[in-house]
Amino acid sequence: MEKWMGGDMHPSYRILMGPGPSNVHYRVYQAMSNPIIGYLDPQILTCMDEISEMLRGIFQTKNRVTLAISATGSAGMEASFVNFIEPGDRVVIGVNGFFADRMTQVASRCGAKVIRVEEEWGKKIEAEKMIQALREHPEAKICGVVHGETSTGVRQPLEEIGAYCQKGNTLLVLDAVTTLGGYDVKVDEWGVDVCYSSSQKCLSAPPGLSPITVSSKAMETLRSRKTKVESFYLDLILLEKYWGEERVYHHTAPVSMFYALREALRIVYEEGLEARFKRHEMLGDRLKMELEGFGFKLFAQEGYRLPMLTSVVLPDWIDDVKTRARLLNEYNIEVGGGLGGLKGKIWRVGLMGEACKIRNIHCLTGALKEILS
């Protein structure tokens, strides 16, 4: 242990227009510089109560079990399966992108038998196809759907699938990683049983937490398990005992991240959900128009395009890697490349939370004009 490592770190101030993380309000950075307190300190417990209460409003739910998992959105996905799946359980998953495919992997690792309802990447899944699969497998424990597919920019409507799941025992698990805070996520109205998200997209806190809400139907399924949840860290019964009234120690809460999330959620409340959704919608439309002007083609199915993440097919005269590298290195602008089979073919341009500003669109179009001319 001789060597001293590096100097001070001075990361560049990026305009984050990729698939997340998004930029963070200066008040959120300030909140993180609040002093650390203990994981059972009355002050952190109040902070956690406020986070739960604010998350309920944003998830549009009355679910008592509404909290932030102390890990990123991928852990939220895992929590949404590992708590409910017992070996051999059947799950039905709509697969039209990278993260829906990840759902199938996570579910399989938990021991589930996965029925994949496939759809072309870039298209929504037809409700009737999902419902048909659920009819064929009425014993399915979980129906998994991605609300905003970050790999393709597609928004999935939930009303019909939710209405069907509510009639039976199947739990509807919804990935709202990309949409929460930027688009309506109507957990109670749609009949979603488990909905998880992330701190770093439209909520504009730093990455590291996964907000999640769980219906009483799902909690009953969890309580009637025959086997223990494989994951101690993600066990929602233990998390509920820490976040709820019992206050039983489970893990050392990441208090700085809680401070950050609380402040980011307050900013959401100050703007109001409706105004926030409107802002994402208007600027999302504007960005799509601008990108089309450069010769990009919109990738996602018309009518189901996410406002906060625009996927565009590159014209063949634009070099993917070189152009994104120039945007990053010369203009400090991050945009996302394609994932999986879409690598090199599409860009994913985000306008999420604090990053969803007209001036960011101006910066991007200005830079693109210079680079592509």
Q: How far is the CB of 256 from its own copies (least distance, A)?
A: 4
| Longest CA–CA separation in the chain, Å | 65
Binding status of residue 189 toward its own copies by CB under 8 A: no
For its own copies, which residue of 139, 245, 246, 270 counts as binding (CB under 8 A)? 270
Closest C-alpha among 124, 74, 70 to residue 99: 74
For its own copies, which residue of 273, 282, 363, 371 counts as binding (CB under 8 A)? 273
Q: How far is the CB of 274 from its own copies (least distance, A)?
A: 9
The HSE-up count of residue 369 (CA atoms within 13 Å, CB side) is: 8
Q: How far is the CB of 308 from its own copies (least distance, A)?
A: 15
Sign of CA dihedral 218, 219, 220, 221: positive
Give the nearer residue to its own copies in terms of CB position, either 88 or 303: 88
| 171 in Cβ contact with 35 (< 8 Å) | no
For its own copies, which residue of 101, 102, 119, 134 counts as binding (CB under 8 A)? 102
For its own copies, which residue of 67, 110, 264, 356 counts as binding (CB under 8 A)? 110
Cα distance between residue 203 and residue 138, in whole Å: 36
Interactions with its own copies, residue window 81-100 (CB under 8 A) = 82
Give the nearer residue to its own copies in terms of CB position, either 135 or 322: 322
Interactions with its own copies, residue window 36-55 (CB under 8 A) = 36-39, 41, 43-44, 47, 50, 53-54
For its own copies, which residue of 131, 176, 195, 257 counts as binding (CB under 8 A)? 257
Give the nearer residue to its own copies in terms of CB position, either 276 or 288: 276
Cα distance between residue 236 and residue 242, in whole Å: 10
For tokens 């009819």, name the residue. Answer: 135
Cα distance between residue 206 and residue 226, in whole Å: 37
Binding status of residue 148 toward its own copies by CB under 8 A: no
Sequential DSSP letters for 76-141: HHHHHHHTT--TT-EEEEEESSHHHHHHHHHHHHTTPEEEEEE--TTSPPPHHHHHHHHHH-TT-S
Name the strand (E) or helix (H) holding 250: none
For its own copies, which residue of 33, 88, 223, 226 counts as binding (CB under 8 A)? 33
Q: How far is the CB of 243 from its own copies (least distance, A)?
A: 15
Binding status of residue 279 toward its own copies by CB under 8 A: no
| 211 in Cβ contact with 84 (< 8 Å) | no
For its own copies, which residue of 64, 74, 86, 365 counts as binding (CB under 8 A)? 74
**C-alpha distance from residue 78 to each of 84, 109, 144, 165, 312 (Å):** 10, 10, 12, 21, 29
Binding status of residue 207 toward its own copies by CB under 8 A: yes
Binding status of residue 106 toward its own copies by CB under 8 A: yes
Give the nearer residue to its own copies in terms of CB position, either 128 or 189: 189
292 to 331: interface string for its own copies, x by CB under 8 A: ------------------------------------x---
Cα dihedral 69/74/76/82 (nearest 10): -120
The tokens of 44 are what? 């952190």
The tokens of 141 are what? 């424990």
216 to 245: interface string for its own copies, x by CB under 8 A: ------------xxxxxx------------
Q: Are strands 333-337 and 15-17 parallel, antiparallel or unpaired?
A: parallel
Binding status of residue 24 toward its own copies by CB under 8 A: yes
Interactions with its own copies, residue window 324-363 (CB under 8 A) = 328, 334, 339
Give the nearer residue to its own copies in terms of CB position, either 22 or 170: 22
